């Protein structure tokens, strides 16, 4: 059995009733978080550009644009919602995906479920198969960032496609064709990190899933095994072979990646590779008496991957600041937090921040071992007095191994949603989200978060 056969079999044979209760709770939390960050992303200037772009297709009003106040075509709504989910880089990560599992997958499922009046259980079931394939592909094709590929786009396109195939109940052969079609739509360059196009990668991944499943459903054909070694998916995007993927597919659901290693919910709207160091600086700031003027040097020792991705030492835009260790650590010192309000032109151009950024040095650990992805970040602050303060941080707060409480997640949702929804709308949406698996249809939820009632 080749990889495409195995994927089709696993997708078709995964069912809600077989999922452990733990995974259902975790998926519901991921849905709450993703809708929250999509709402706040929808009100960002980039979100406005995206909403304006897709409104031209509103003559085909099938699916709601979150935070938009209108419906548009399946494809356009999915493009917009997927892009807006990732605009602020506040969406979840983890589950062995090298990227962001929910942002490319959930918008696809919401659009299709709204159009076809599908309920919460089927969405959860379909979400699980997408994240699991995302994880299997990622483990078979590690370190894509170092090759210049954006994993959330490259792998997320296929992950979102199998989720879409599952929610529409495509048969075995249609799943294979959909995956093959999706394989020719995957791309995304890390060169665009720190620009609007990084978020567009995610919207494109979601939109490509809609295209792939709709074509496959209509009888459109593709390679029956896009993963073959002779010019196939793994060979093109990495130096791995199909056998690497087959080995990981054998571990499907043993346990599900949503459970182990788990999904990480972001506390900070910046690249996840900055979060451990931010935690360290905030902890030092809260436990020691010093100001930014007292700092002679602020050193962060991290991984080669972080050094590669966090490439903006002197960020000029808010989006670049999300990929700047220099900025986020300076903001943590000066403002005492790194939240939505720290990513503004005013804060970025703050003279104190600019001066402190000059003192932030980011280096790879001297004894770094290749593949040591669990090595902690270390932050060292050296004061002019000669005092040295150090912190080693292995797991960021909010990560799967230091998880956010449900109360904190709800607080994050309320903070994000309040940019568009009033208190009654927030409470109504939360009531539906917390009982998501009991919903026979998500249409009322979609009408609330998009104001299309």
State the SS3 of 239-281: CCCHHHHHHHHCCCCCCCCHHHHHEECCCCCCCHHHHHHHHHH
pLDDT value of residue 60: 76
Please give the helix or strand (H or E) that residue 248 lies within, else none: helix 242-249
- Measuring CA to CA, how many Å separate 393 from each of 183, 375, 381, 399? 37, 9, 14, 12
DSSP structure class, residue 322 = T
**Tens-digit pLDDT profile for the chain (453 aa)?**
999 999 999 999 999 999 999 999 999 999 999 999 999 999 999 999 999 999 877 677 889 999 999 999 999 999 999 999 999 999 999 999 999 999 999 999 999 999 999 999 999 999 999 999 999 999 999 999 999 999 999 999 999 999 999 999 999 999 999 999 999 999 999 999 999 999 999 999 999 999 999 999 999 999 999 999 889 999 999 989 999 999 999 999 999 999 999 999 999 999 999 999 999 999 999 999 999 999 999 999 999 889 999 999 999 999 999 999 999 999 999 999 999 999 999 999 999 999 999 999 999 987 776 655 667 899 999 999 999 999 999 999 999 999 999 999 999 999 999 999 999 999 999 999 999 999 999 999 999 999 997
Q: CA–CA separation, 37 vs 173, rounded Å?
A: 35
> Three-state SS for 451?
coil
Contact 167, 329 (CB under 8 A): no
Residue 422 structure tokens: 């009033």
pLDDT value of residue 367: 73
Global pTM reads 0.95
pLDDT value of residue 331: 98
pLDDT value of residue 61: 86
Place of tokens 């990190």: 193
Beta-sheet strands, E only, within 229-287: 263-264
Paired with 301 in beta bridges are: 363, 378
Q: CA–CA separation, 160 vs 140, rounded Å?
A: 18
- 272-393 maps to CATH 1.20.1260.10: no
CB atoms within 10 A of CB 17: 6
| Domain range annotation of the chain | 3-266+406-450, 272-393
- 3-266+406-450 maps to CATH 3.40.640.10: no
Q: CA–CA separation, 294 vs 278, rounded Å?
A: 18
pLDDT value of residue 371: 59
State the burial class of residue 152 (Cβ atoms within 10 Å of its Cβ: 0-12, 13-18, 19+). buried
CB atoms within 10 A of CB 419: 16
- Measuring CA to CA, how many Å separate 200 from each of 58, 82, 152, 298, 425? 20, 8, 11, 34, 28
Task: Characterize the bridge pairing of strands 360-364 and 295-302.
Answer: parallel
């Amino acid at each position: 059995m080749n990889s495409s056969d195995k994927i089709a079999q696993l997708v078709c044979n995964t069912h809600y009733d077989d999922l452990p209760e733990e995974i259902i709770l975790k998926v519901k939390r991921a849905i709450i978080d993703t809708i929250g960050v999509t709402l706040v992303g929808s009100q960002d200037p980039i979100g406005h550009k995206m909403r304006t772009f897709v409104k031209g297709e509103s003559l085909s009003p099938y699916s709601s644009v979150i935070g938009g106040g209108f419906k548009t075509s399946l494809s356009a709504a999915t493009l917009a919602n997927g892009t807006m989910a990732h605009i602020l880089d506040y969406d979840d990560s983890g589950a062995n995906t090298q990227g962001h599992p929910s942002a490319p997958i959930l918008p696809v499922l919401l659009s299709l479920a709204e159009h076809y009046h599908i309920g919460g259980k089927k969405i959860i079931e379909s979400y699980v198969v997408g994240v699991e394939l995302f994880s299997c592909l990622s483990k078979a094709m590690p370190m894509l960032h170092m090759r210049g590929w954006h994993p959330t786009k490259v792998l997320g396109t296929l992950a979102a496609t199998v989720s879409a195939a599952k929610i529409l109940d495509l048969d075995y052969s249609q799943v294979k064709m959909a995956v093959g079609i999706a394989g020719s739509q995957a791309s995304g360059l890390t060169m665009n990190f720190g620009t609007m196009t990084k978020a567009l990668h995610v919207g494109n991944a979601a939109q490509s899933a809609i295209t792939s499943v709709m074509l496959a459903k209509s009888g459109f054909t593709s390679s029956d095994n896009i993963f073959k070694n002779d010019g196939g998916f793994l060979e093109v995007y990495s130096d791995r072979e199909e056998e690497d993927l087959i080995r990981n597919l054998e571990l499907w659901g043993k346990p599900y990646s949503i459970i182990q290693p788990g999904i990480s919910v972001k506390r900070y709207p910046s690249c996840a590779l900055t979060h451990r160091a931010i935690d360290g600086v905030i902890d030092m700031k809260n436990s020691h008496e010093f100001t930014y003027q007292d700092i002679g040097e602020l050193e962060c020792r991290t991984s080669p991957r972080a050094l590669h991705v966090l490439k903006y030492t002197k960020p000029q835009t808010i989006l670049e600041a999300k990929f700047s260790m220099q900025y986020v650590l300076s903001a943590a010192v000066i403002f005492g937090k790194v939240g939505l309000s720290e990513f503004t032109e005013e804060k970025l151009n703050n003279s104190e921040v600019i001066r402190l950024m000059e003192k932030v040095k980011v280096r790879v650990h001297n004894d770094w071992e290749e593949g040591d992805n669990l090595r902690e970040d270390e932050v060292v602050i050296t004061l002019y007095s000669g005092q040295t303060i150090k912190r080693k941080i292995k797991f960021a707060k909010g990560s799967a191994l230091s998880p956010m409480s449900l109360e904190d997640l709800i607080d994050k949702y309320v903070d994000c949603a309040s940019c568009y929804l009033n208190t009654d709308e927030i409470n109504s949406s939360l009531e539906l989200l917390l009982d998501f698996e009991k919903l026979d249809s998500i249409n009322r939820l979609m009408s609330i978060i998009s104001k299309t009632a």
